Amino acid sequence: MLGLFSSFKRVSTWRLLWLYLAKGQKELGLNISQEQIDELESNLENIDFDYAQKEERLIRHDVMAHVHTYAKCCPKAAAIIHLGATSCYVTDNADLIIIKNGFDLLLNKLVSSIKSLSLFCDKYKDLPCLGYTHLQPAQLTTIGKRACLWLQDLCFDFENFENVKNNLKFRGVKGTTGTQASFLELFNNDHDKVKRLDEIVTQLAGFKSTFMVCGQTYTRKADIDILSVLSSFGATVHKICTDIRLLASFKELEEPFEKEQVGSSAMPYKRNPMRSERACALSRHLMMLVNDGLATYSVQWMERTLDDSAIRRIALSEGFLCADACINILQNVFEGLVVYPKVIESRINQELPFMATENILMEMVKIAGANRQDCHERIRVLSHEAGKNVKLMGMQNNLIDLIKSDDYFQPIHSNLENMLDARKFIGRADVQVEEFLNEMVKPILDKYKNNNLTQSQLLI
């Protein structure tokens, strides 16, 4: 990703676009020789950045500085470089090429993260754990089902990335204010040739379609869509990694912690979730970048103003670099998530007696013919006593012991242990995981079945 947003990639893509333009113009009859085309093609990566920097300091225009730099190493083709074009022909179109490549890279990496998390979901699909609403213990779910909530959002992000990439249009060959007037002049008022030139360059650049109309730039509304899906992905990362941080504080689950890793300079016992914390920090910045796109688009007066250029160079590059870093971290975390079943079981045991009270009530009515209201009141009193023991005395939840010691509940005493089997409280969670993995995740993995990126291939 760093390579995609490097100065070398940017300028070499400008040169590629100048080559495409010359090829199209030659094909349509302009006086451009094959020798000139060959010279342009052989110098695509022969970039003298020192010379370009001196030129830009002198003329204060980055594109023209690189026109001069390209011309310096292509003397035979110098006269036809940038013929009929405006600066945004290279800057905007190069951005779109780089953005498209950026989404390709993100999609491939995201599939790897989706695959890793899907394996985790399947492994723990039926391991009961406390569910939390309002960050308070709620009905049971499973570790795998909770992770499917994360996975579903990542699948939405995958679809968003694909949709924006597939709908990305090329600026193409439109001229200074988008009217194609300069190219109409070059081709002696031949509208068909001007349209064909636009098509040739678009196809050479690997795009299926162009913006039908534009000003000097392609509409910056497109940047909002690009930054929006990246920022939305940032929110997903923040939610997932926040959940992991909370679960780590409960000691139910941990991100990978290496043998020699130090959690704290002062507290040797600490096992801080530093990867998830780093992902939250980066994703917080990523979430904000869409605001740059919104603000920039809203002030593009008429055909354009130049106050978009500097901010776009920051927002778009940081958006992709930030998203890329977040995916790298997710991949590392997902491949090394550690689950602590005994801690999870202990936390369930603290809450499950309360959750089982409705089942106990129904069993008493069904087996012993008890009065539902009387039974409810007895359970209420015992539940409050057990709650007081937990909160005021620091005891374990002893509601079941209290019920066992009450002769009123004698008809169901032998059934109590069976009624407290945590797996009976997870509903369809395990089946939901299987259905979700088969119906939503498998098609994504099948589409990218030749993608075998692993954490070891990513720089963490």
Active site positions, annotated = 134, 264
Conformation bin of residue 371: beta by default, left when phi > 0, alpha when psi is -120 to 50: beta
On whether the CB atoms of residues 253 and 143 are closer than 8 A, the answer is yes
Rounded to the nearest 5°, which phi and psi values hold at 159? -65, -40
Closest by CA position to 128, among listed 347, 436, 334? 347
How far is residue 222's CA from residue 288's CA, in Å, rounded to a whole number?
Answer: 17
364 CB neighbour count, 10 Å cutoff: 23
How far is residue 219's CA from residue 183's CA, in Å, rounded to a whole number?
Answer: 21
